[in-house]
Amino acid sequence: MAQGTKNGIVAVVDVGSTHVACLVARVAPSADGHSPDIHVTGASHIKSEGVGAAGVTDLKAAEKAIRTAIDSAEQRAGVTLERVVVASNAGKPKARLITTELDLGGGAATPREIRLLDAHARRSAAEDGSVLMHFIRRYYSGDDGERLDDPEGMRLATLSADYCLVEADQHAWANLSACVEASHVKIAKRVVSPLAAATACLSADEIHQGVVCIDIGGSATSFAVFEDGALIDVGLIRIGSQHITNDIAMGLNITMEDAEHHKMLNGNAMAASDFVDEADGELLEGRPSGGGGRQISIRRGDLNMILRARVDEILDMVEQKIGADNFGGRIRNIVMSGGGSRLHGLELLVQSRFGLPVRLGRPEVIRGMPEVLNGPTGCVLAGLLLLAADAPQARYAGLSGGTESGLWTRFGHWWTENFY
């Protein structure tokens, strides 16, 4: 069943540092009986306020922006929302891999033992001021470490399970939750942004073979790594495409508006350090940052050198966080998402650097999705809709089913831990 639905309606909110967006959609069973039919009936996409790379920086400003986005989408859809699925990079999400084990003594594995494995794993979660965002069981193992698809009823000496726990700072999410719920809605599910993006743009084959989804946002770059069909890592870097714009504006002494324009229209990540391009000597025009009516001339080559320096820094930090040995090892494919991924030459640069297949993430077209949110820019929102509708893509990413946010879910975990 779709999460947070009422009469087949789902709503999702993406809270970023540069934009806040809300989508309202109607979900119905598809004709083929598999993927649900999702139709966006209301949408808003506005400038973010009071939100930084890793969470809320101004409660009043963030609450106002989120409320405006939700109200606008509600009005366009002609509905009043009660629950929303929310994505953010708040709290610097990180992943931990753990294993729990039970001694069965040759007895048959029952649902009780399977629940106990989960309960033991949860006891180690959300320590040191963190909140558990996602609890993902990667696989079961039986005697001698043999992987099992479904251990129920099997006689085993030991039964173990491997998990990926995604956690984030609890205070950062408490602040964000307060801003969202001030808009008369409750949070049905919390999702870290790179997992939402991965849900929308990764294939089941890529998740099985090994893939990293790198989502380049305005003030941050986040990533999710999958191997053997399951999540193994997430991370956040506090540098994004807005930093590239800032560098260009400062380095060329032009306005931020012109810096953004030239970055996306004339910039190329494969700068002069990779090849000599006749276009590097081309003169472009921009308005000086100090104002005035005159235009100043700037060399395309200078634009690209500034741009490339910051892009290299982002890729250096991604490589350091994930580990250089994992590229070509655990990771066999790279998928880029987010508005920053649309930078000219970025695919070619990443492919050249890591020696792996690289592509832009392009979610399947969702009916009614605003044109500005189609393609890499809308991966997080598309992923949220798929998660809210419990589509097959959510199962590929290991995110289908219950929510860590729900009261009854938390009560069920407590009951299992204390009475089984």
- pLDDT at residue 274, rounded to an integer: 53
Q: Domain of 104?
A: 94-168+409-419
* CATH number of the domain bearing residue 157: 3.30.1490.110
- pLDDT at residue 280, rounded to an integer: 67
Number of domains in the chain: 1
Least confident of 123-127, 232-236, 314-318: 123-127
Q: What does the alpha-carbon distance between residue 363 and residue 199 come to, in Å, rounded to a whole number?
A: 9
In a domain? residue 142: yes
- pLDDT at residue 371, rounded to an integer: 87
Q: What does the alpha-carbon distance between residue 17 and residue 89 come to, in Å, rounded to a whole number?
A: 9
- Strand 130-141 vs strand 147-148: parallel, antiparallel, or unpaired? antiparallel
Taking the model in full, what pTM does it have? 0.89
In a domain? residue 327: no
pLDDT digits (tens, 9 = 90+) for 64-105: 999 999 999 999 999 999 999 999 999 999 999 999 999 999
**Cα dihedral 198, 24, 405, 58 in deg (nearest 10):** 90
Residue 79: which residues within 8 A CB-CB, separation 6 or more? 9, 24, 41, 42
pLDDT band at 321 (very low <50, low <70, confident <90, very high): very high
In a domain? residue 140: yes
Tokens of 306: 């500034």
In a domain? residue 85: no
Which strands make up the sheet holding 358-360, listed edge to edge?
Answer: 230-237, 221-227, 211-216, 333-337, 358-360
User: What is the arithmetic mean of pLDDT over 142-169?
Assistant: 92
Q: What does the alpha-carbon distance between residue 395 and residue 406 come to, in Å, rounded to a whole number?
A: 19
User: What is the arithmetic mean of pLDDT over 314-331?
Assistant: 93
pLDDT digits (tens, 9 = 90+) for 338-388: 999 999 999 999 999 999 999 999 888 788 998 888 889 999 999 999 999
User: What is the arithmetic mean of pLDDT over 250-265?
Assistant: 94
pLDDT tops 50 at residue 228: yes
pLDDT tops 60 at residue 272: no
- pLDDT at residue 146, rounded to an integer: 87
